[in-house]
Every structure is written in structure tokens, then in C-alpha cells.
Amino acid sequence: MKLIIVSGRSGSGKSTALHVLEDMGYYCIDNLPIGLLGPLTKEALYEGAGHADKIAVSIDARNLYRELGDFPIIHKRLQSEEVDIEIIYLDAKDDTLLKRFHATRRKHPLSSKSVSLKEAILQEKALLEPIASLSNLYIDTSDLSLYQLRDQVKLRVLGRTGQELALLFQSFGFKHGVPSDSDFVFDVRCLPNPYWDTSLRRFRGTDPEIVEFLKKHPESGQMVADIVSFLETWIPNFQNSNRTYMTVSVGCTGGHHRSVYISEQLAEYFRQKYDNVQVRHKELAQ
């Protein structure tokens, strides 16, 4: 059976992710106590749960503190019981979570008369660390709209079979910060910058004008070749360690030209080797 655990801090988008998985045919349970993971999977495995061969559960900090600490033991036990288990961990920057709670006026589950909202958000991060440390897929939702988050979950999970690697190439701008969900980060700011050609400034890295500009410079081709060589060497090692998701982030100054072009080139190359390869242009999506 397939089990996806969705976790993360309150306000990060767990409910949205669970709804997406439900639309994809998963039997979904919100806020499941960790202690019930074992009985749930046994029911599905041994009692013939029918439609529940694909299950998704949401686990958050409302669990007992002791149970959260025991999660690595439960996780290891499930892996030995023929359960194909994946953990999707959602998070966002502290300031973003604060703004979301202020906007919705919802009460944080850990806040109280003696614990402020900011303190509750920090406490929750520490409590969920045993789950976060074992996650297969980490998604930073700070800059994602509701619809973008839905698309992210759908793109990354849909179509994966077994231990097949889902590979995402993500362009970004260093002036906006390095994406926290990156597994590898490559800096391409040393390449010629089309921004300084005023006739090219308005175009994006996917436009023929920028593609032609960068292809004229041999440094661009050498950069792609060097990154390909590195990834071809190390991706198999991560796969051998049971990694099923990988995010490769490529950054330039603004995230509109060079990083977009290089990400597209890398995705084009690796689509010949892997079935599940996606591209996301972080700054172009804003």
C-alpha cells in the first residue's frame, strides 16, 4: 500500500495539500494521532481495505509530545511492513506564518495566555523536527498562492511509481533569497547578463531572443555541461539512499534570464534519463 504523510507547521498549507491528494484518489484523514498509524496500515494491509490502498494522512503538532518524539521509531516500523511511505513536509518563513494567522484571525493550536503567537510558531517547529528530518519532499510555501501550492503537490506526486525519482529544476533570483527547499544550488551570475542590453531586458529566459543571446557565449554551454556532469555523478548516490524527490535550484541576480535559460537546458537534458522531470521559474511565477 501507499501511505503519504503530510505534515508541517500550522498555516503552511497542509489542508490544501491533503485536498489535492484526495482529488488524486487517496483516502485522506486529517490530524491523525501518530499512535494510530500502525493500526491504520494494518487494517489496509491485512483486512483488505479496498479503496484504501492509497492513504494520505495529516499529522501536526496537536499530537502528544511523546508521540511526536517516537515518530522515527514508528516510521522505521512501517517501512518494514511493506508500506510504501512518503513524507511531504510543508513550511513557510516565520514572518509569513505570522501574517497568515493575523489575516485569518485563527488561533494557533499551541498559543495560550502564556504563549504568544510568535512563540507558538517557534515551538511548533521544534516539536515537528522528528518528522521534518525524515521528509522525502520539503515545500516552502512562503511565496506560493493557494493555486500554486496545489499545482506543486500535483506535479511532484502525480505519476510517480515506486522509487522513481521526481526531479525539479527551479530558477530563482539571489536578490530574493535562496529557496529553502533546494537540495543543490548553482550560481550562474558569472554568465553574460542580457539585462544590460536594453533591447533584451524585457524578455525572459524562455524567449528566443534570450536563448540566442546566451547560446552565442560558450560559457553558457560549459556551465550546463559542468552541472550535468556533477548531477550525473551524484544523483545516483542519492537514489541509492532512497531519495525520491530532488530540487536543483539555479540562481542569477533577478531570476528572469540566465537562471531560467540554464534550468530549461538542464531539464531538457535530464528528461532523456528520467520520466518525472519538472521546471519551475520562481520569480516568473510571482
Q: State pLDDT tens for residues 106-142.
A: 888 888 889 999 999 999 999 999 999 999 899 999 9
Q: Please give the mean pLDDT across all residues of the chain.
A: 89
Domains and CATH numbers, the chain: 2-157 (3.40.50.300), 166-281 (no CATH)
Distances in Å between the Cα of 39 and the Cα atoms of 4, 34, 66, 135, 166 are 15, 10, 18, 22, 30
225-237 average pLDDT score: 95
Q: How far is CA 48 from the centre of its chain?
A: 32
pLDDT band at 84 (very low <50, low <70, confident <90, very high): confident
Q: Which of 134, 112, 144 is nearest to 8 (CA)?
A: 134
Residue 61 has a CB neighbour count (10 Å cut-off) of 21
Q: Which of these ranges, 60-64, 119-123, 279-283, has the smallest mean pLDDT?
A: 60-64
Q: What is the C-alpha separation between 275 and 187, in angstroms, rounded?
A: 26
Q: How far is CA 89 from the centre of its chain?
A: 7
What pTM, to 2 d.p., does this model score? Answer: 0.76
Q: How far is CA 281 from the centre of its chain?
A: 14
